């Protein structure tokens, strides 16, 4: 498999998940400004939206969008325990969390990373991110995991996004439960390996 990534972007989540499951894969870095890989190949030929992550499967098919990619990775090695089995209520709770992260929490950050965003739009986005952080702080106080009772791809995805506030000037000291939660996940060997591979450690 080939996973197309940009260091520190949301593609870090499937990168960690692949390492958690012990999968055989190649991480291919993409320059999101030029949409070129390190080798100079056109990333738009892989994903016409130009966005990471994209996962090329062993059969040549391409998967995009984190919820789908993360569930696919988890299901390829169910013994790693990164997702509940299909059909159970816990599976739908996990899907709910992944959908929220992709469509609401991630979306709130987008204006803060876009250079052309107006000051007014950035202020609104800052408020939206902080509202989500406050809700997550309340939800994760006294809990070790975001979805269910065990570590899952939802924890990986949330961990990655909890690394973003500091890059857009949001002080995380107001969210001690989230800090403790992210700190525990950061100690996992697969997380450290992915961070080092992306030059983030």
CATH 3.90.1150.10 for domain 2-81+190-197, yes or no, is no
Enumerate residue ranges in the chain where pLDDT < 50: none
Domain residue ranges of the chain, discontinuous segments joined by +: 2-81+190-197, 89-188
Please provide the DSSP assignment of the chain as one string.
Answer: -EEEE-TTSTTHHHHHHHHHHT---EEEEEETTTTEETT--BGGGT-TT--S-EEE-TTS-EEESHHHHHHHHHHHTGGG-SSPPTTSHHHHHHHHHHHHIIIIIHHHHHHHH-TT--HHHHHHHHHHHHHHHHHHHHHHTT-S-SSSSS--HHHHHHHHHHTSGGGGT--GGG-HHHHHHHHHHHTSHHHHHHHHHTT--
| Residues 59-86: tens digit of each pLDDT | 999 999 999 999 999 999 999 999 999 9
The predicted structure's pLDDT at residue 194: 98
CATH topology of domain 89-188: Glutathione S-transferase Yfyf (Class Pi); Chain A, domain 2 (1.20.1050)
The predicted structure's pLDDT at residue 174: 95
| Residues 79-104: tens digit of each pLDDT | 999 999 999 999 999 999 999 999 99
- The structure's pTM equals 0.97
The predicted structure's pLDDT at residue 201: 80
Nearest in space to 82 (alpha carbons), one of 94, 66, 93? 94
The predicted structure's pLDDT at residue 26: 97
């Amino acid at each position: 498999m080939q996973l197309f990534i940009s260091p520190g972007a949301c593609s870090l989540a499937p990168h960690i998940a692949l390492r958690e499951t012990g999968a055989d894969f190649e991480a291919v870095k993409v320059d999101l400004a030029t949409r070129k890989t390190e080798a100079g190949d056109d990333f738009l030929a892989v994903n016409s939206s130009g966005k990471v992550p994209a996962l090329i499967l062993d059969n040549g098919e391409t998967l995009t969008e984190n919820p789908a990619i993360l569930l696919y990775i988890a299901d390829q090695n169910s013994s790693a325990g990164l997702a509940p089995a299909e059909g159970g209520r816990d599976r739908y709770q996990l899907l709910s969390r992944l959908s929220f992260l992709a469509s609401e929490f991630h979306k709130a950050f987008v204006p803060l990373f876009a250079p052309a965003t107006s000051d007014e739009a950035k202020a609104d986005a800052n408020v939206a991110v902080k509202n989500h952080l406050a809700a997550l702080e309340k939800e994760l106080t006294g809990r070790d995991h975001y979805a269910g009772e065990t570590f899952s791809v939802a924890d990986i995805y949330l961990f990655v996004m909890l690394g973003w506030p500091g890059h857009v000037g949001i002080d995380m000291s107001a969210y001690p439960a989230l800090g403790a939660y992210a700190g525990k996940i950061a100690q996992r060997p697969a997380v450290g390996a992915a961070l080092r591979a992306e030059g983030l450690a």
